[in-house]
Structure 1
Amino acid sequence: MAAILGMAAIGAWAVTTERISYVTTHGVSMNPVYYQGDLVFVVKANSYHVGQIVAYHGDVPGQRVLHRIIGGSGSAGFAMKGDNNESVDPLTPTTEEMIGRAVLHVPHGGIWLKPLLSPTGLGMFSFLIFTGGATAARTRREIPRGRRKKKVKAMSSGQSGSWATATAVLKAVERLSPPLRAAAAVAAVLTVLALASGVLGWMKPVVEQQAAASTPSQSITYSYSAKVPKSAAYDGTTVGPPDPIFRKLAERATLNARYEGPAGAFALTATLTNGTGWHTTQTLVSKTFFSGTRFDATVPLDFPALVARADDASRAIGAAPSGAVMVVLNARVESVGLGSLTAPLQLAVSPLQANITSGSNLTTKAGATAAAEVTVARKIKIFGLSLMTASKARSNAILLLIGAIVIAAVVLFAALRRMPVRTRAEIERRYPQLLVHVEPMASPPGKPVVSVDNFPALVKLAERYGQMILTWRRPDADDFVVRDEGITYRYRVPLDEPTLHNVEMINRPSSGAHREPADSPVF
């Protein structure tokens, strides 16, 4: 009993921790090792090696791939391939991403398992478990062929048939030891959980279509301004985009980069080049974290200083200074869950002017995509709480059902051994070594006759006194007798009323028997 309960505890632990799972094969990728419809149980391991057949999650939600490891490592990812495939799998799962390695193969097991674990199959199994109808055929009363009329009469009784059997099974379970009753309760609970998991897992497909959340909009917009004296070159005293800045009128400008969107971190750099292959990058705004939906960065642009830096580099490499420089501005924003948004802007600075190059955009936008449907693994929710995926519910239904069947079979076997015997055939099948068939005989004169309420009590008496059980047939009953020290102990099975007898064991005659008059004959 301890082993059974231990197995149940181990099974519950394996299910909840996902240490044991299963795969139903489809296709021909693993021929000739596995074929279509096979059932393969897998166990999660701490490490895997080349040559093992393992299961891992595919790129489709709920999909499980069962292929062989042909290379790679657990940290970098294994190379996988079906034995009957020519190409290697595109996915390279790591040790943490593995479902488990194959340990048990049931040919065509997935074919019969699918209808068994459908909501209808699980419902039928639960009905049989709780009503005891599955044992009706085994425990029905056997009546001789010559007594068909009495058989019809017996079957019309309210205590006959499957209901009587169910009642007998339940009573037998009640008389089991506390550990066996606990095991029966565990089997019932596992069956209910398997039924619930099976219904929730199979009532809909393992995947479903959901509307993908729209990506929040993001934008980075550049602007610049420079103060210039009043002249014929400009209409005013301030220059802004897209007008060029003539250096004779303004050698400095103010650059502004404005970000709008979710909070994150902002950085701004400038890369200088002079056409000789030389380049350098300067940090204008170091990485700055911000909250809110807007961030502004303002930096000064000193054109003579930028040109001087490029000319110094030209002289250092032996090239003639050009007095010009190309400035590539690059603003970068990193937001949680959205990745990075970069916005480049090219600014050409020549001895005459500083202006934005052709093709450069002052505004860079991202996000604001329309909501679309995506395929995701269907999750089972109760009162808004997400419990597990439908694929996991199906796995749990199978494992819980297997555990319930194993425990229920053990408990049912123990209960059947303690069920009352109701016919001669049952008694002869269960206690053939104690029976001696004799001709009908009368009880000794002047000796008492004790009627025993149940046959197991008569067996206890026979074993106590070291006697065999004498038996013979009467027109209306079957008699079973034990004689010792002048007392006759009798158990009688009527042929016309197949009633159930109490199965309580007795340790002394007074607890399970009653005396009859001494002159009562036994035939």
Structure 2
Amino acid sequence: MAAILGMAAIGAWAVMTDRIGYVVTQGVSMNPVYYQNDLVFVVKADSYQVGQIAAYHGKSPGQRVLHRIIGGSGSSGFVMRGDNNESTDLLTPTTEEMIGRAVLRVPHGSIWLKPLLGPSGIGMLTFLVISGSAMTARTRRDIPRGRRKKRVKAMSSGQTGSWASAAAVYKAVERLSPMLRAAAATAASLLLLALVLGVLGWMKPVAERKAAARTPAQSITYAYSAKVPLSAAYDGTTARSPDPIFRRLADRVTVNARYDGPAGTFTLTATLTNGTGWHTSQTLVKTTAFTATRFDATVPLDLAALVARADEATAAIGSGPKGQVAVGLVAQVTSPGLNNLVAPLQLVVSPVQLSPGQGAKFVTETDTTAPDLVVAREITVFGHSLLTASQARSYAFLALLGAVVIAALVLFAALRKLPVRTRAEIERRYPQLLVHVEPMASPPGKPVVNVDNFPALVRLSERYGQMILTWRRPEADDFVVRDEGITYRYRVPLDGEPTLQNVELIDQSAAGKHRTEASPVS
């Protein structure tokens, strides 16, 4: 028992420290080595080699990929590929990221593993282990009505059949040593734990989809305007974006960049280019911190000055267009906990006008609609996360295995304490002590001690170094031990119920018989 419990403890340590794991194969990527629904056990190793089949965690929570190592190294990452795949895996796990290498395959093992570890399977095993001893009751033989009246019942009429056997097992457990009783309590606790973890682990899939947290809305909006004289070119005295600004009417433009969203810092820069590869940058608004949910930045643009700066570069280069320049505005907002928001806007200044560049975007905003996330399902109690569903399944299997091992040991010890009731049980348990003889009468004038249980007769046999003589009578089976003129007898009637008499001394003589009561033999 100590050896088995030690092995169970080692197994518990191996599973809880992820030294041992299992993979249920899906698909055909490892044909013909593994097939659909195979159960493969893996053991974590300190190093792996090319050619070995190993498992690693996939992209989805709870996913385990079992493929062959075809290249790479443990430090930079192994190159993995299924034997039936043409392409290699996208992930390159390192030694630390490996679950383990394959050591044992159970063909189609998941077919019985899933129902065994499901809530119904664990519940059924719990019921069978707890009530299994009640199934050992033997169907009693039919006996004549007259003889049945002579039988002395060992239990009350309400404790017959399986209930009587269950009560006998319970009493046998009570007679066990404190260590075995503690083991029985441990087995019951592990069965309950396996049932709870099995229900929690298998009631839903190991992964679940959760809506990603919506990020706060952010936007940057550009606008430009210019004061123009009243003319046929415009309907009023102000020209606004996205209409062109004709330089003959206005050569100064006001640009406004408005930000809406969480507080942070704001920066606005401009980059001048002329199509030759030349460029220069100017800071229009230095990095400015703000605390409100809106920030406005308004800057003037002198179109003549910008064109003059580009013409100077063209003259220095010796080639390039004159009288025009492209102005690239870039506004950037940095908010704590959010990605930087960058909004570009291209303006083209020609000798005739200022106009937006091709595909110019005046409004830039963040996308607040995030796709659902696939995360490992967690088991929570009162808002506190205890473990994932995948871990619950593994621990349920471990608890069930430990409970079955311990319960089997306790049940075996309890059954050895059960009283034997039939000749078949006695012959099966104590064949080395029995000697079958013809029926014989007790010696005249010698006492006969009726023993109320067979183990007591066995102890008398061992104490006196005598074999147990046995024979059959029409009404019962007799088992006797003779020593120093005393006959110790245990009698089993043919209906299978042992007699529960007090010890009686029978003095047989030629003149007659008389009976004297004595204390029981234990």
TM norm structure 2: 0.78
CA 1:31 to 1:320, structure 2 compared with 1: closer, same or farther past 3 Å?
Answer: closer
The reply on whether 1:325 has 2:313 as its aligned counterpart is no
- How far is the alpha carbon of 1:219 from its aligned partner? 1.1
Match of 1:469 in 2: 468
- How far is the alpha carbon of 1:351 from its aligned partner? 6.5
Match of 1:125 in 2: 125
The reply on whether 1:491 has 2:490 as its aligned counterpart is yes
Aligned residue for 2:40, secondary structure, equals: strand
Match of 1:140 in 2: 138
Give the Cα separation in 2 of the matches to 1:50 and 1:392.
30
Match of 1:164 in 2: 164
CA 1:470 to 1:500, structure 2 compared with 1: closer, same or farther past 3 Å?
Answer: closer
Match of 1:454 in 2: 453
CA 1:265 to 1:62, structure 2 compared with 1: closer, same or farther past 3 Å?
Answer: farther
Any conservation in 1 of the 2:276–2:320 contact (CA below 8 Å)?
A: no
Listed as ranges, the matches of 1:171-320 within 5 Å are 171-206=171-206, 216-224=216-224, 241-242=241-242, 255-262=255-262, 266-281=266-281, 293-297=293-297, 310=310, 313-314=313-314, 317-319=317-319
Aligned residue for 2:222, secondary structure, equals: strand
Listed as ranges, the matches of 1:8-19 within 5 Å are 8-19=8-19
Listed as ranges, the matches of 1:77-88 within 5 Å are 77-88=77-88
Show CA shifts across 1:84-110 (max 9, x none). Answer: 233333444455554433232112222
Give the Cα separation in 1 of the matches to 2:129 and 2:54.
35
Match of 1:40 in 2: 40
- How far is the alpha carbon of 1:275 from its aligned partner? 1.9
Match of 1:361 in 2: 361
Give the Cα separation in 2 of the matches to 1:206 and 1:171.
43
Listed as ranges, the matches of 1:407-426 within 5 Å are 407-426=406-425
Listed as ranges, the matches of 1:365-384 within 5 Å are 365-369=365-369, 378-383=377-382
Aligned CA-pair RMSD? 4.4
- How far is the alpha carbon of 1:220 from its aligned partner? 1.0
Give the Cα separation in 2 of the matches to 1:245 and 1:63.
60
Give the Cα separation in 2 of the matches to 1:173 and 1:46.
45
- How far is the alpha carbon of 1:213 from its aligned partner? 5.5
Any conservation in 1 of the 2:492–2:499 contact (CA below 8 Å)?
A: no
Give the Cα separation in 1 of the matches to 2:410 and 2:55.
34
Equivalent AA in structure 2 for residue 109 of structure 1? G
- How far is the alpha carbon of 1:208 from its aligned partner? 5.4
Any conservation in 1 of the 2:207–2:375 contact (CA below 8 Å)?
A: yes
Any conservation in 2 of the 1:159–1:499 contact (CA below 8 Å)?
A: no
Show CA shifts across 1:392-420 (max 9, x none). Answer: 44444333323322332233223323332
Any conservation in 1 of the 2:422–2:496 contact (CA below 8 Å)?
A: no
Show CA shifts across 1:251-303 (max 9, x none). Answer: 77665433223456655443332221123445556777766644445666566
Any conservation in 1 of the 2:140–2:495 contact (CA below 8 Å)?
A: no
Any conservation in 1 of the 2:143–2:495 contact (CA below 8 Å)?
A: no
Show CA shifts across 1:42-99 (max 9, x none). Answer: 3445554432323344455554332222233455544322212333334444555544
Moved more, 315-324 or 416-425: 315-324
Any conservation in 2 of the 1:477–1:494 contact (CA below 8 Å)?
A: yes
Query: Between Structure 1 and Structure 2, how many residues are aligned?
Result: 505
- How far is the alpha carbon of 1:316 from its aligned partner? 5.3
CA 1:15 to 1:259, structure 2 compared with 1: closer, same or farther past 3 Å?
Answer: farther
- How far is the alpha carbon of 1:166 from its aligned partner? 2.4
Give the Cα separation in 2 of the matches to 1:196 and 1:57.
26
Equivalent AA in structure 2 for residue 495 of structure 1? L
Give the Cα separation in 2 of the matches to 1:200 and 1:414.
33
Equivalent AA in structure 2 for residue 198 of structure 1? G
CA 1:299 to 1:19, structure 2 compared with 1: closer, same or farther past 3 Å?
Answer: farther
- How far is the alpha carbon of 1:337 from its aligned partner? 7.1
- How far is the alpha carbon of 1:518 from its aligned partner? 5.4
CA 1:286 to 1:55, structure 2 compared with 1: closer, same or farther past 3 Å?
Answer: farther
Any conservation in 1 of the 2:140–2:496 contact (CA below 8 Å)?
A: no
Any conservation in 1 of the 2:452–2:499 contact (CA below 8 Å)?
A: no
Give the Cα separation in 2 of the matches to 1:78 and 1:175.
58
- How far is the alpha carbon of 1:136 from its aligned partner? 2.1
CA 1:449 to 1:266, structure 2 compared with 1: closer, same or farther past 3 Å?
Answer: farther
Any conservation in 1 of the 2:251–2:303 contact (CA below 8 Å)?
A: yes
Match of 1:479 in 2: 478
Show CA shifts across 1:217-264 (max 9, x none). Answer: 3211124567x6988799999876446667799877665433223456
Give the Cα separation in 2 of the matches to 1:47 and 1:266.
51
TM norm structure 1: 0.78
Show CA shifts across 1:428-481 (max 9, x none). Answer: 111111222234445555655444443333323333333322333344333333
CA 1:492 to 1:332, structure 2 compared with 1: closer, same or farther past 3 Å?
Answer: farther
CA 1:108 to 1:320, structure 2 compared with 1: closer, same or farther past 3 Å?
Answer: closer
- How far is the alpha carbon of 1:345 from its aligned partner? 0.7
Give the Cα separation in 1 of the matches to 2:273 and 2:144.
110
Give the Cα separation in 2 of the matches to 1:402 and 1:290.
62
Give the Cα separation in 2 of the matches to 1:231 and 1:333.
38
Aligned residue for 1:517, secondary structure, equals: strand
Give the Cα separation in 2 of the matches to 1:436 and 1:499.
20
CA 1:408 to 1:265, structure 2 compared with 1: closer, same or farther past 3 Å?
Answer: farther
CA 1:461 to 1:304, structure 2 compared with 1: closer, same or farther past 3 Å?
Answer: farther
Give the Cα separation in 1 of the matches to 2:126 and 2:41.
24
CA 1:487 to 1:317, structure 2 compared with 1: closer, same or farther past 3 Å?
Answer: farther
Equivalent AA in structure 2 for residue 113 of structure 1? L
Match of 1:517 in 2: 505
Equivalent AA in structure 1 for residue 459 of structure 2? K
- How far is the alpha carbon of 1:161 from its aligned partner? 3.2
Match of 1:504 in 2: none
CA 1:492 to 1:290, structure 2 compared with 1: closer, same or farther past 3 Å?
Answer: farther
- How far is the alpha carbon of 1:210 from its aligned partner? 5.5
Match of 2:517 in 1: none
Show CA shifts across 1:289-330 (max 9, x none). Answer: 766644445666566775566556545545478464322122
Show CA shifts across 1:173-227 (max 9, x none). Answer: 333333333332232222222223333344445555655665543211124567x
Any conservation in 1 of the 2:228–2:239 contact (CA below 8 Å)?
A: no
Match of 1:70 in 2: 70
Any conservation in 2 of the 1:62–1:377 contact (CA below 8 Å)?
A: yes
Moved more, 45-54 or 122-131: 45-54
Match of 2:28 in 1: 28
CA 1:11 to 1:316, structure 2 compared with 1: closer, same or farther past 3 Å?
Answer: farther
Give the Cα separation in 1 of the matches to 2:499 and 2:382.
47
